[in-house]
Structure 1
Amino acid sequence: MDIKILIAEDDVVFRELICDIVRKEGYTPIEACDGKEAIDIFFGLNDIDLLILDIMMPIYDGIEVLKEIREKSDVPVIILTALDDEKNEVFGLEKGADDYIAKPFSYKVFTARLNKIVRKLNKEKVNEIVTGNIRINQEKHKVIANNLQVKLNNKEYSLLTYFIKNSERILSRDQILNKVWGYDFCGDIRTVDTHIKTLRAKLLECGKYIKTVRGSGYMFEGKDHENN
């Protein structure tokens, strides 16, 4: 599985060193030279698997980048600190970093910690459904749309997974109701429309994947079309 790692480090030589290590381990490095560029790249793409953030960077430092990303995503983050920078190390872990590595670091220590996180990522990816810009971790019931975590209730989650598993098929309201709510549901069939409206809103741009088929029901197309 291709693992994309965003490396935010303002020291060019050190950044290139980390990129070389990442490549040798079989992963794809993506470079950012400051905190602002790191944020722009992360939210501009939808497939960053891991971040490596230096604490001391211009514009936004690593802690500021971490806080910004943690508001929207729980992507794994490794912070890089100076050897005696215990205060920022602890602060970074408290703000949601998954690990820290002190500079200068041992090659073996760095690769061991990096690969430990990647192994966990690969395990999670086995349980993922990916369609368009939506990723679903079935084990955790976690939904990511355009690289942002989406909070869905149980019915919304079941509705979304039912749509995805039946992509490109027209589904009537009765089919959706029976599958998601159950055959013994006694409520109004319009509850389907209400939940789909809410689901579309929560998925933001990805909400357009759920198409209304006039007179028939709904269909999920998990890809972007220019003329939508």
Structure 2
Amino acid sequence: MKTNDPILVIEDEEDIRQMICEILEEDGYPTVQASDGNEGLQILRKTPEIRIVVTDLLMPEKEGIAMISELRKDFPWIRIVAISGGGISIPENYLNRAKAVGADATLCKPFESGELLSIIDDLNR
């Protein structure tokens, strides 16, 4: 069942952020965008209806692992999807750390739109 609650997408690369939002919006999910973890946290504090966050792990300002830790502490009910292309490391290393600190699901970039939607649909149940 779809919800009208917006999904927060936190990604520093604008083209990737736009692509994720388009995938979600085409499937009926409203989105809110942030370019880094600090902006994402500000939005969350002002938008209590957000229930799902899709966050990149490697970002300037507040990176994803710290972001997930803070979300778990301040917003324990929020479902978190961590995404990473890995930067100079193997993406699975970051994604495993994200799971360890509280991400509900992980996705390795690049990913198919169906993979993202399947995870979002599961988290929305």
Secondary structure of the equivalent of 1:30? strand
Residue 74 of structure 2 corresponds to which residue in structure 1? Answer: 72
Gaps in structure 1 of 5+ consecutive residues? 121-228
Q: Is the 8 A contact 2:92 2:108 kept in 1?
A: no
Match of 2:44 among 42, 56, 63: 42
Aligned length: 119
Residue 102 of structure 1 corresponds to which residue in structure 2? Answer: 108
- When normalised by structure 2's length, the TM-score is 0.90
Residue 98 of structure 2 corresponds to which residue in structure 1? Answer: 92
CA offsets per residue over residues 161-207 of structure 1, 9 Å max, x none? xxxxxxxxxxxxxxxxxxxxxxxxxxxxxxxxxxxxxxxxxxxxxxx
Residue 82 of structure 1 aligns with an amino acid whose one-letter code is: G
CA offsets per residue over residues 46-69 of structure 1, 9 Å max, x none? 111100000011100011111111
Runs of 4+ in 1 over 3 A off after TM superposition: none
Secondary structure of the equivalent of 1:71? helix
Cα deviation for residue 71 of structure 1 reads: 0.7
In structure 2, C-alpha distance between the alignment counterparts of 1:33 and 1:7, rounded to whole Å: 8
In structure 2, C-alpha distance between the alignment counterparts of 1:46 and 1:107, rounded to whole Å: 26
CA offsets per residue over residues 35-91 of structure 1, 9 Å max, x none? 110111111221111000000111000111111111122210000012631221111
In structure 2, C-alpha distance between the alignment counterparts of 1:71 and 1:51, rounded to whole Å: 14
In structure 2, C-alpha distance between the alignment counterparts of 1:86 and 1:112, rounded to whole Å: 19
Between the two structures, name the one with larger relative contact order (CA 8 Å, sep ≥ 6): 2
Cα deviation for residue 109 of structure 1 reads: 1.4
CA offsets per residue over residues 98-139 of structure 1, 9 Å max, x none? 000000001221211121112x2xxxxxxxxxxxxxxxxxxx
In structure 1, C-alpha distance between the alignment counterparts of 2:115 and 2:71, rounded to whole Å: 26
Match of 2:85 among 82, 85, 91: 82
Larger radius of gyration: 1
